Amino acid sequence: MLGMASARAEHVVDPNAKQGGAITITYKDDVATLDPAIGYDWQNWSMIKTLFDGLMDYEPGTTNLRPDLGESYEIAPDGKTFTFKLRQGVKFHNGREMTAEDVKYSLDRVTNPKTQSPGAGFFGSIKGHEDVAAGKAESLAGVTVVDPYTIKFELTRPDATFLHVMAINFSHVVPKEEVEKYGADFGKHPVGTGAFKFAEWTLGQRVVFERNPDYWHKGLPYLDKVSFEIGQEPIVALLRLQKGEIDIPGDGIPPAKFQEVMADPEQKARVVEGGQLHTGYITMNTTMAPFDNVKVRQAVNMAINKDRIVQLINNRAVPANQPLPPSMPGYDKEFKGYPYDVAKAKALLAEAGHPDGFETQLFAMNTDPNPRIAQAIQQDLAAVGIKASIQSLAQANVIAAGGDKAGAPMIWSGGMAWIADFPDPSNFYGPILGCAGAVPGGWNWSWYCNKDLDAKAAEADSIVDPAKSGERAKMWSEIYRKIMEDAPWVPVFNEQRFTMKSPRMGGADNLYVDPVHIPINYDYVYVTDVQ
């Protein structure tokens, strides 16, 4: 066997934690769904993770994988067969024990076109996926129930991202009888194995979760209840927090109040900051003149004053110098990127045959702060002779232009910028920089396609042995260095998330620090005023 994960150790209980109590979180918008096969935004992913579990998970606040409902796993020498041993005695919220049949059912369901899951494509390496996706089969041929506590996955190719896929919400395990009972409304009557149980959902008003007394993680969760109040404007939520009426403003600190909060020592002490697997970037369409010239693209990289753009958003980000965010495996700490150098940018443009610059268009989403950022980019480009007219459009229109090969010379990605689905460097390549994404309707808006790098990416993803993760990360670092030489993007910043907690809140280290698409991990949150 290539590798085996030992049984997951029990969590170390926080010595400051107290069992009991309740917290209140606010959100402006109602929740779309609590079905793990359907939910795909940062708000409901956090809630879904509270109600459900998957075979794999991450150590809190890190990108380190560990077994979850899968107690251990083995990987065959060819990297194409994964066999999981499941934990015994894990119960769904309805009292029934979870078994391997439930895991298989959940994956068959998420890949079935009738479910209309936005995550179905993540399971493409499993044998039989194409047949299920085409409606030719109801079940994945590559998923086999060996016995009630053993499940085997056969893949069509080695896939180093497979364990990450087993950790995302789309892989979370659901009970067939509850899905069949509620049908399309299962997302409003969720039943999982998670730390909390669904208690109430009054549309447009509140969602309530209660502690799962049978949760298999002994000692967790700490809280007895989590209440989400819906329809709260972020500024109103902040005022309520300051009055002690709520515990967490789920939408974060409103940009208009950010400087005020940070200037107040008492409020600043309760601010919780966390990095995301996020990069905001400018794309240049490499199939359109003059961006088909690498020197032009390199010049644009040197023309952008990233520090000034970060200041525009009240320093809620850090400047970026490569596509990967700093907390992503494969991020190259030694790489410095392109310097901000107006003179050098002008010289490169002259070498490329554009001593007087040129005219182009910059597409951007029309919601704040994106128009302001686009104007800053426009000013930077003008300083080197590039006259860019701004096309400020609705999100859907910008996405449509990016997915059209003749649609947009340049795009500022803000508001649509990439946040990783899982913490693996391949997720920043395939959809947005690889040849597979350079298709009509795709997300590779630079239309950059390097066949050699595609081959190297496939080679890196064939390294499935966890013991060789360092070697694989180094390969990805080299791929992204080459991408930066070709300069299809200007990586601009990596956004941070900021929220606040009430004075009675404990467990601050587990708010907004989980970089894996999950803003808050409620399992570990506690209050300090429990009697």
8 Å CB contact between 482 and 453: yes
What's this model's pTM, rounded to 2 decimal places?
Answer: 0.85
Q: What pLDDT score was predicted for residue 9?
A: 38
Long-range CB contacts (< 8 A, 24+ apart) of 233-236? 233/28, 234/28
What number of residues does the chain have?
531
Taking residues 132-149, what's their average pLDDT? Answer: 96
8 Å CB contact between 500 and 253: yes
Residue 111 amino acid letter = T
The model's pLDDT over 89-101, given as tens digits with 9 standing for 90+, comes to: 999 999 999 999 9
Q: Is the pLDDT of residue 317 over 70?
A: yes
Taking residues 21-31, what's their average pLDDT? Answer: 92
Q: What pLDDT score was predicted for residue 8?
A: 41
Q: Does the N-terminal peptide bond of residue 67 adopt cis geometry, omega within 30 degrees of 0?
A: no
Distance CA 29, CA 42 (A): 12
The model's pLDDT over 393-414, given as tens digits with 9 standing for 90+, comes to: 988 899 999 999 999 999 999 8
Task: Grade residue 17 by pLDDT with cuts at 50, 70 and 90.
Answer: confident
Q: Is the pLDDT of residue 177 over 80?
A: yes
